[in-house]
Structure 1
């Protein structure tokens, strides 16, 4: 069988390939990493330089019609991880062009080759920014170009699965995904605490739904490879209940070299004003940005009850995930 991974050179894709190679690939199986960038190039997971043995790497742009040579089998699986995702950080057009057109091209490729099973990594962004708890059945109300593009991409994939009754689609909506190579929210949090420039933005009880990257790819394996069903399923991938920013900070401190670090609380308005002034000067180096400060003040209150009620068993607690990540980095930090 073939594991066809669009966007496999990125953060989640790199961890997924490691898991597939370790636990899933049998003689005759093939992993394809189809990405616009290759391991070791700028824009991919830092520190990942060497290509994995047994993986075929093909430079491919999902914004264009997809065509490459492979031997199709009835058991082939597509993992569609390709996306422009960091927000803020890209012009509006980039989110729509890659996330929507890419979804159209991926499902067209599946259609052409008779592939029956797709996993699509969406996001919690389609829910929109609000304090209320969001479940899978909650009406999506995205308020960013990224969130809108991801919701449209979900609908494109659902349109594909509904054309034939023997197709299978898994849509995962992960919270903040963290782990080695993330270089995003959790990495900035660690560096901010260590460098004494992270502050609780107006409150400590902001809910931040999250999941460890190794847990996420384990769930992908469980739901797509170890199990089978017809139709489509949408699953929020996050700890249940979701943790507050204070709980996350305390777990990170207890599990790494941050023990004893103090985190002051500063009024949100003051932080936004400081970010507005410092951002253009040098705030990019430490992640100081008015939009990011505002994000810190709004909960991503996502329900993980559906996942918790499945037979799937989590491999890590919050604290254990930070310890594992710290070990992966040779106890030199979180990066």
Structure 2
């Protein structure tokens, strides 16, 4: 089996390649706009805005895993979300069709549901609150129309929640770094639940869908349970690292006021800052999602949430 990763030079792609290379009779090729630091020999330079280059490099592939995305919440101009996430999907499908590849695994996002929802499953209302979520939903709609016209294709969509793990430098890493430093500032009460996904389980689920996924058009949330509150994360971090974590608490309104101040500062300096009103809002929101469909598929996560958190904390801090 030859597996083509598109956008596999980042965190998820690198860990997925780690896993795939251990599996007999699997060939892996990564197409990305930048070389993979760990696997440059497996990488071919290509951009999702150029379908002909994608088609050239993906010849002979059996399955495509589309990971390429603009996902930071401070991308400018916002049109880049739609160029990469939506037009990039169209170009990927065009390249696949040129090579008669009819199997796709696409990483979308739970951002399509919006914030503060009541544990939505895959049938819940779609209400993205930012351009990232809107562009991911539009990419899914492109896929839905495509499958209606190509019913012999097998398409699996994964909507993961925030992914954490060793080597990640995203929002969870920054949060755990602050907690571990002993200089953590809690905005709000900290009782809001946060669905999270450990990287070892996410890549295992992608492989599960490649070899055992249902045919046709399938959509899966991916979340590892149980859902931790921010207070839980503080408690587990202190317990794993063997230290008492002092926590300064400030009210939500004051945190949002500070976030707006950083928005103004970022606009004046034209710099991307780690604090913004959007990030404060996301930090304090309930981001809890159902993963019952994925867990009913026969997939068994190889790691518990506690094991994943321990692996990351002991490796990073």
TM-score normalized by the length of structure 2? 0.90
Contact 1:174 1:238 in 2 (8 A): yes
Q: What SS class does the counterpart of residue 118 from structure 1 fall into?
A: strand
**Whole-Å Cα distance in 1 between the matches of residues 115 and 66 of structure 2?**
25
Match of 2:289 among 287, 291, 302: 302
Give the structure 1 partner of residue 99 of structure 2. Answer: 113
Give CA deviations for 1:119-163 in whole Å, capped at 9, x if unaligned.
000001111123422110001111211111100111112223333
User: Which residue pairs with 2:136 in the alignment?
Assistant: 150
Which residue of 2 is the match for residue 192 of structure 1?
178
SS at match of 1:199: strand
**Residue 216 of structure 1, CA deviation:** 0.2
Paired residues of 1:177 and 1:210 also in contact (CA < 8 A): yes
Equivalent residue for 1:98, pick from 78, 84, 88: 84
Q: How does 1:27-42 map to 2 (within 5 A)?
A: 29-39=26-36
The number of residues matched between the two structures is 311
Aligned to 1:265: 249
Q: Which has the higher helix share?
A: 2
- Is the Cα–Cα contact under 8 Å of residues 262 and 273 in structure 2 kept in the other structure? no
1:22-67 deviation digits (Å, cap 9, x = unpaired): 1x242xx42111001112xxxxxxxxx3426xx5311111012233
SS at match of 1:5: strand
C-alpha RMSD over aligned residues: 2.2
Q: Aligned ranges for residues 229-268 of structure 1 at < 5 Å?
A: 229-255=214-240, 257=241, 259-268=243-252
Which segments of structure 1 move beyond 6 Å, counting only runs of 4 or more?
A: none
SS at match of 1:143: coil
Partner of 2:70: 84
Gaps of 5+ in 2: none
Question: 1:187 deviation in Å?
Answer: 0.8
Report the Cα offset of residue 69 of structure 1: 4.3
List per-residue Cα deviations over 1:283-305 (Å, max 9, x = no partner).
x8983222211111111121122
Unaligned 5+ segments in structure 1 are 40-48
CA pair 62-71 structure 1, distance change in 2 beyond 3 A: closer
Relative distance call for 1:203 and 1:266 in structure 2 (3 A) is: same
**Which whole-Å CA distance do the structure 2 matches of 1:102 and 1:285 have between them?**
25
| Residues 184-222 of structure 1 deviation map (CA, whole Å, 9 limit, x = unaligned) | 111111121133443221122112111011110001111
| Post-superposition offset of 1:165 | 3.3
Q: In structure 1, how many angstroms separate the alpha carbons of the residues matched to 2:113 and 2:142?
A: 17
Structure 1 Cα separation of the partners of residues 250 and 105 of structure 2: 41
| Distance (Å, rounded) in 1 between the aligned partners of 2:67 and 2:153 | 19
